[in-house]
Structure formats: C-alpha cells, structure tokens
Amino acid sequence: MVVALKKGTPPEETRAFAEVLEQQGVTVHISQGASQTILGLIGDTSRIDEERLRAQRLVEKVLRVQAPYKRASRPFHPEDTRIAIPADGKVKTIGAGTFSIIAGPCSVESPEQIIRVAQRVKEAGADFLRGGAFKPRTSPYSFQGLGEEGLELLLTAKKETGLPIVSELMDINHIDAFDEVDIIQIGARNMQNFPLLKELGQRKKPILLKRGLASTLQELLMAAEYLLAGGNEQILLCERGIRTFEDFTRNTLDLSAVPGLKRESHLPVIVDPSHACGLAWMTPALAKAAAAAGADGVMIEVHNNPETARCDGEQSLTPEEFAPLAEVLRKYAALEGRTR
Ligand code: PEP
Ligand code: MN
C-alpha cells in the first residue's frame, strides 16, 4: 500500500505517523521527495483500514497495491483450490481442473418428487443433487420450503442415489439440521449477511457462496474473505446473474465473472444459468457458454414436472431436457481434459 502525504508535512510528523502505522503490523518505508513524502507499507496490509487512513489529516492519497481480499487472492494461494467431497465411498473433487454438475429442483416438495428427480439427474451424470428446504422468497405468501422435513427428504434422496447434496442455509439457528448436507449454499440475498458468514467461517463445511443481486466481483470476494478469515477454506463462488436494465431475462448472466474471478482468486467458480436467465429454453445455451468460459461447474434447476413446481418452474429443465445437456457439458469438459 502506498500513502502519499500532504505537501509540507514536517519530517517529525511523518516519522510519528509511520510509527503509528507500524503498530498495525506493517513495515513503513519513507521516501522523502523534494516536495512530497511517500510512505510504502510493506507486509500484510489486509487489516489496514483504507477509509480511516484517507481520513487522516496528513494523508493526500492512498493506493492499494494488494487486493483487500488477501486470502481469496491468487498471489496468496497460486494453486487452484481443490474441494474434496466424500460421496458413496469415493471422493468427488470440485475445482483444480475438474468440471462438476449440480442439478435438482429449486425446492424439495415431496418424497416422490425429490427421489424421482435425484434418480433422473444421477442417471444423466450429475455429480451433486440440489434442493432448497429453506427458501428465500420475495413474497411472504409464496411457498417457503418444507424446512427440516425438506432436508430429511434430501437426505433420503442422497441415501437412495449416493449423490452428495447442496442446500441453502438462511438462518444460523438451523445449522445443526445441515450436519449431513455436503455443501451449504449461501444465497444471493445473504451474500453480505456478515454474522452468518462469520459463523460459517468457523465451520469446516464446504460453502457455495452466491453472488449478490447487485454485488461487484470485489464484494463477492470480500464475502468469501469473511469465510476464509475464519479458517474455512472450502469455498465455491457462484455467478447467478446480476440486476441490470435488461428485463428480457430474470437477471443478466455476467460471464466475464468466470475468467475474472479465476484470475483474481484460487477458489472454484460455479455458474447457475437457471437463476441468471429464469428461462428453461435459454438455460442450456448459457450452461454451455459457462463451460466454455472456464467455469468449474454449473448448477441447473431440474424438475420432473416444471408445470406443477412450487417454485421456479419456468426456469426448470425436465429430466429429458437435462440429460442431453449434461452429456454435451461432459464432452466439452473432456475436450479440455477436465474430468472428475
Ligand atoms: C436458489 O438457488 O434456489 C436461489 C434462491 O438462488 P439465488 O440465491 O441465487 O437467488
Ligand atoms: Mn430457484
């Protein structure tokens, strides 16, 4: 981090200021120019409060050289993060050159529904089963999910098929019910729920962190940093579309997020084309584009009868539509040598 001091700052004030900064765990290099003094802060600057620094009377300008998301950043961890999930006596890997397919309904609705969809997506080659038990709905009058009963049904589907499961946690008070959930999803609406992130940072659980509806990549990476700072290193980033002026689609899939996040960070990137476009017919095109853009996997909503779905039917593929898509995605991944 580079801090330019106001012109005419006396040397003794500069030294005193440098000492205060050094108390925050960095080394300060002072370059005294003819008219201006520049301080170079060396070491771990992630805990230095940039805004507070800007507010200091002596400070003219602050320039951050390192990303503020230290632990999520590539320079901190040059190798891709590999997430290993035990499944059916084997291990499924996410990230590090693999390609994963997560599929299943928006929400768990009944034993017949979730088990049937689980079997069908498994047959088609999905790696993980998704299903919401606690649903974040815009309207309080919409179906809110089956709650703990939904999680129980998801676990039954996991036992029947051997597919590890992904489900959304909205309230930290429900965490105990998620013991056997393999990947905990933090939904777009909770990306910046900092108490939730802090608590999950303390747990050794893989987390699928969705990008907020109007969040920048930096904000997503800072949310991931909360989890990493707590010691949880099993984080998957998820691009699920952002709000733009375009209303043809539910959201706008920001595909540039994929190479962007992979350049900035070592964490795996999953694309959710279903919530991005909100349209079943468009989902396969976006899923293929995500694979081509270098995503580490996709998450796709699949329902055995989208017309009767209690949530997100319009964007849900039928198993018959999902199977050929999964096959093409596998072929794309294999072309690049990206297998499980
Ligand atoms: C979901 O995955 O069902 C969901 C609600 O997603 P998002 O948080 O991205 O809207
Ligand atoms: Mn949904």
Unique residue bearing structure tokens 């676990």: 155
Mean pLDDT of the residues in the chain? 96
| pLDDT of 106 over the 90 cut | yes
Q: In which element (H, E) is residue 103 found?
A: strand 100-104
> For position 163, what pLDDT does the model report?
97
Instruction: Assign 88 a pLDDT band (cuts: 50, 70, 90).
Output: confident
- Give the DSSP letter of residue 107: B
Q: Note the pLDDT of residue 33.
A: 87
Predicted confidence at residue 238, as pLDDT, reads 99
Q: Which domains does the chain have, with CATH numbers?
A: 2-63 (3.30.70.1140), 83-335 (3.20.20.70)
CA angle (267, 272, 278) in 5-degree steps:
160
Percentage above 70 pLDDT, the chain: 100
Q: Which amino acid is at 153?
A: L
Give the model confidence (pLDDT) of 195-206 as tens digits.
Answer: 999 999 999 899
Strand pairing category for 128-130 and 100-104:
parallel
88 burial level (CB within 10 Å; 0-12, 13-18, 19+): exposed
Ligand 1 center to 276 CA (angstroms): 10
Neighbour count for residue 336 (Cβ, 10 Å):
12
Residue 72's pLDDT is: 98
Residue 98: other Cβ atoms inside 10 A: 19
What is the average pLDDT across 209-232?
Answer: 98
CB-defined site of ligand 1, < 6 Å:
106, 132, 136, 187-189, 210, 240, 275
Measuring from atom 4 of ligand 1, which residue has the nearest CA?
187
pLDDT at 266 over 90: yes
Mean pLDDT calculated for residue range 194-220: 97
Residue nearest to atom 6 of ligand 1 (CA): 187
- How many angstroms does the Cα of residue 326 sit away from the middle of ligand 1? 21
Q: What is the DSSP string of 11-45?
A: HHHHHHHHHHHHTTT-EEEEEE-SS-EEEEEES--
Ligand 1 centroid, distance to 178 Cα (angstroms): 17
Over pLDDT 90: what percentage of the chain?
95
Query: What pLDDT, on a 0 to 100 scale, did the predictor assign at position 340?
Result: 67
Q: How many CB atoms lie within 10 A of CB 189?
A: 15
pLDDT at 35: 84
Pairing label, strands 83-87, 90-94:
antiparallel
